[in-house]
Structure 1
Amino acid sequence: MPEDSSALSRRHALKWLTGTVAAPLALGAAPNETEPAPPAYVNRFTMHDPDYTKPLSGPWDKVMTPEELKTTTALADLILPKDANGPAASEVGVPEFINEWISAPYEEQREDGQIVRGGLAWLNTESFRRHEKRFDELSAEQQGGIADDICDAAKAKPEHRVGAAFFALFRQLSLGGYYTHSSTWKHLGYVGNVSMGGPYPGVPKEVIEKYGLQDVA
């Protein structure tokens, strides 16, 4: 993952968000019999200033093996290749994002990790069955042939359903990681915070008309 502040922010956002969602609610002792104490949320983490001299140091160990990362990179780049709209998934750290996500020590991430790592194993097994090579060693056409069989769970054959369930989650994680990187926002039409010179021009006419607000005083 590129050594920039966006990578660090994403890591800590994941840590704090999942910690907050998982924090149990604990009721404190009432100060008296008529006034109940306000609810207190248990802090699972101690807030601290991040060490920006070590932007890639994370709060948990990563679980993927080098071989799993190779397969993850190949599939992520197949789903989100480099084109006129933006960089390839691997260029913005999507494989590292997925590795970090499934390595997080929370129940949801553990379940995702089982699906992703099991799916990567399934993908390589299927690749060897068809072409006697690992998935990351196949041509783009060969990779696409396998992906075509698992990209739609509703149409997947019974023998491909495990792969289809994996692909659905992997695609979701890939898109989530990809579009949290600022270099991909242009593809979405998101401009971000851009300073404007002169007076505020107001809401564009086409937006007003789209929502039928042109006659609103």
Structure 2
Amino acid sequence: MSAPKDLPRMDRRTALQWMLTATASMAARDAQLVAADAASSNAKGYGPDPVMAKVYKPGDVWPLTFTEPQRRATRALCDVIIPADAASPSASAVGVHDFIDEWISSPYPAQAGDRRVILEGLKWIDEESARRFSKTFAELSPEQQLALCTDLAASKPKPELKKGAAFFKRFRDLTAGGYYTTPEGMKAIGYVGNVPSGSFEGPPIEALKHVGLA
């Protein structure tokens, strides 16, 4: 079998803008991850934030983390969590796997715990896939991927799946947080945002007269 081709990457500036926007909006955090983030920062600076007017290439600002196999696993897992339907694209179709790569690669203390959880979790899910089906997660059929994720999403997962379940919960939160900050995701949940509901013909003449403009 021929080697799989590398997955195309999202434009770097777009991915960085997306990641920084989501950082501001994803306020709910797991308490243990916050503690791990604070401990890992050691009060060190992380340098300047990206300048969104610039065009960045891979390796600029901060290096990306995922290897190609990790990107494939991430993409497959994103699409199990948010598959395409008749009205909306899948998570990978809008680039959520690239968003997660930027998220865990960034130097900010708030992301430090997620980097560890995601990288260890991707390793775990490939090992569990190999144990069950003799394939990596990305190579599984959609039915096999769903069966494994259903076990991880159970309200009371089996003891041997405890580590995988914790990873899956955080990965699911990041996938949803990334997806629903895209225009496609906001449309899927009916969020309109700061859009005028009707036409604006200017202030009334009385107001203009009051300030000496009419």
Normalising by structure 2, what TM-score?
Answer: 0.71
Structure 1: 4+ residue segments shifted above 4 A: 12-17, 43-49, 55-58
- Whole-Å Cα distance in 1 between the matches of residues 194 and 58 of structure 2? 27
SS of the aligned residue for 1:67 comes to: helix
RMSD: 3.1
Alignment partner, residue 91 of structure 1: 93
Partner of 1:9: 17
Which residue is 2:112 aligned to? 110
> Cα distance, 1:192 vs. partner?
2.8
Give how far 1:49 is off: 4.6
Give, in whole Å, the separation in 2 of the partners of 1:7 and 1:48. Answer: 11
What is the aligned partner in structure 2 of residue 77 from structure 1? 79
Whole-Å Cα distance in 1 between the matches of residues 99 and 136 of structure 2? 22
Residue of structure 2 aligned with 1:50, choices 49, 52, 63 = 52
**Partner Cα distance (1:170, 1:47) in 2:** 25
Alignment partner for residue 119 of structure 1, among 94, 100, 121?
121
Deviation at 1:15, TM superposition (A): 7.9
**Counterpart in the other structure of 1:138:** 140
| Pairwise CA distance, 1:118 | 0.8
What residue number does 1:176 align with?
A: 177
Return the match for 1:67 from 63, 66, 69.
69
Report the Cα offset of residue 81 of structure 1.
Answer: 0.7
- Code of the residue aligned with 2:75 in structure 1: it is T
CA 1:106–1:168 in structure 2 vs 1: closer, same or farther (change >3 Å)? same
Judging changes above 3 Å, is the alpha-carbon distance between structure 1 residues 49 and 114 closer, same or farther for their aligned structure 2 residues? Answer: closer
Structure exhibiting the larger radius of gyration computed from Cα positions:
1
> 1-side partners of 2:136 and 2:97: how far apart?
17
State the 1:51 CA deviation. 4.0
Contact 2:16 2:102 in 1 (8 A): no
Please report how far the alpha carbon of residue 188 of structure 1 lies from its aligned counterpart in structure 2 after TM superposition: 1.4
Question: Residues of 1 paired with 2:156 and 2:124: CA distance?
Answer: 18
Cα deviation, residue 185, structure 1: 1.1
Q: d(CA) in 1 for partners of 2:12 and 2:87?
A: 22
- Provide closer, same or farther for how the CA distance between residues 57 and 64 of structure 1 changes in structure 2, counting only shifts above 3 A: closer
CA 1:131–1:78 in 2, change beyond 3 Å: closer, same or farther? same
Counterpart CA distance in 2 for 1:110 and 1:187 is: 30
TM-score w.r.t. the length of structure 1 is: 0.70
Counterpart residue identity of residue 69, structure 1: R
Deviations 1:189-211 (CA, angstroms, capped at 9, x unpaired):
11233342267xxxxxxxxxxxx
Give the fraction of aligned pairs with identical amino acids, expressed as a percent. Answer: 39
Highest RCO, 1 vs 2 (Cα 8 Å, sep ≥ 6): 2
Aligned residues: 177
Matched-pair contact (CA < 8 Å) for 2:121–2:164: yes
Matched residue of 2:184: which SS?
A: helix
**Which residue of structure 2 aligns with residue 158 of structure 1?**
159
